[in-house]
Amino acid sequence: MNRIIVTCALTGAQQGKEANPNLPEQPDEIIAQAVEAWRAGAAILHIHARDKKGKATADVEVFRTIVDGIKAKGCDAVINLTTGGAVAGLPLEERIAVVPALTPEIASFSVGGGALLGRHDPHEGGWINDRWVPLFSSHAELERVARIFQEHDTRPELEVYHAGMMNNVRDLDRIGALDHPMLVNFVTGIPGEITPSTVKDLVFLVDHLPEGAVWQVTSIGARNHFRMIGAVLAMGGQVRVGMEDNVYIGPGELAQSNGQIVERAVRIIRELGFEPASPDEARQLLSLRGA
């Protein structure tokens, strides 16, 4: 198959306009950039929401405004809503509320206990961004959330930050809590208990995938955001880009929009002999209900 699914992660839950003034925060900004990214070749739109001050929110009505606004523009992209936001301190029950309320075709699902983030900076003389981000407190809680996804026919995008989390994926699959084909997102490059964004580490992660899984890579930061695309395609993966993960279009050059980032990713994809998948082709590959 020479069609590659491009996911665009529009805004995230952490950095804001202080990192790039073009990063969308309010619903009208997110809607406009979502449609631009779709027109540039993104088949899936991964959506976080912000409050009026630009802070991450799990407010279902804000998500509804964004989703309805995207669809009102005639955009047929697959909607992928976040149940993340733990890094911003949002409680689990609030984060997962978008699944029963809005029943998206896809929603993110971080399948682990949590992560210790941060790095030591010798110039600062200490640890930077040093904190623990809790995700799930037990395997039973992981199963409960997985069953919510199944109940509402929402495919989880399984967020995997290191190889140990693949144990949880296999366990949930073993008890029938995950529908197939599984969609796995390897999140790489965040300082802390997260897999580095290297080809060697990616090979190790891919080797642990269950048979038939569809996978993509989130490569955090400007250094590897575009560079990893070639390795991902060579290994049979899908592509994720966007301002949630990287606010630059080139060395020292801030991106003007998510659409610009998608355009560059699509150019790389085509140079390597592939074509971006349409939303309906993505639905077929992932066996989503909209197919």
Does the domain formed by 3-286 have CATH 3.20.20.70? yes
pLDDT, tens digit (0-9, with 9 covering 90-100), for 122-169 = 998 899 999 999 999 999 999 999 999 999 999 999 999 999 999 999
pLDDT, tens digit (0-9, with 9 covering 90-100), for 52-71 = 999 999 999 999 999 999 99
Q: Note the pLDDT of residue 186.
A: 98
The pTM (predicted TM-score) of the whole model is 0.97
Find the DSSP H helices in 157-278: 165-174, 199-206, 228-234, 258-271
CA dist list (Å): 241 to 35, 41, 146, 220: 15, 11, 25, 9
Q: Do 48 and 283 form a contact (C-beta atoms < 8 A)?
A: no
Q: Note the pLDDT of residue 125.
A: 87
Q: Note the pLDDT of residue 237.
A: 98
Confidence of residue 1 (pLDDT cuts 50, 70, 90): low
Confidence of residue 48 (pLDDT cuts 50, 70, 90): very high
Confidence of residue 238 (pLDDT cuts 50, 70, 90): very high
Q: Quote the mean pLDDT of the chain.
A: 97
Please state the domain extents for the chain. Answer: 3-286
- Name, in order, each residue with C-beta under 8 angstroms of 122's C-beta and a sequence gap of 6 or more: none
Q: How are beta strands 49-50 and 56-57 bridged, if at all?
A: antiparallel
Task: Give me the percent of the chain exceeding a pLDDT of 90.
Answer: 98
Mean pLDDT for the stretch of residues 258-271: 98
Q: What are phi and psi of 140, to 5 degrees?
A: -65, -35
Q: Is the pLDDT confidence value at 288 over 80?
A: yes
Q: Note the pLDDT of residue 184.
A: 98
What is the Cα–Cα distance from 20 to 136, expressed in whole angstroms? 31
Q: How far apart are the first and last CA of the chain?
A: 17
pLDDT, tens digit (0-9, with 9 covering 90-100), for 178-197 = 999 999 999 999 999 999 99
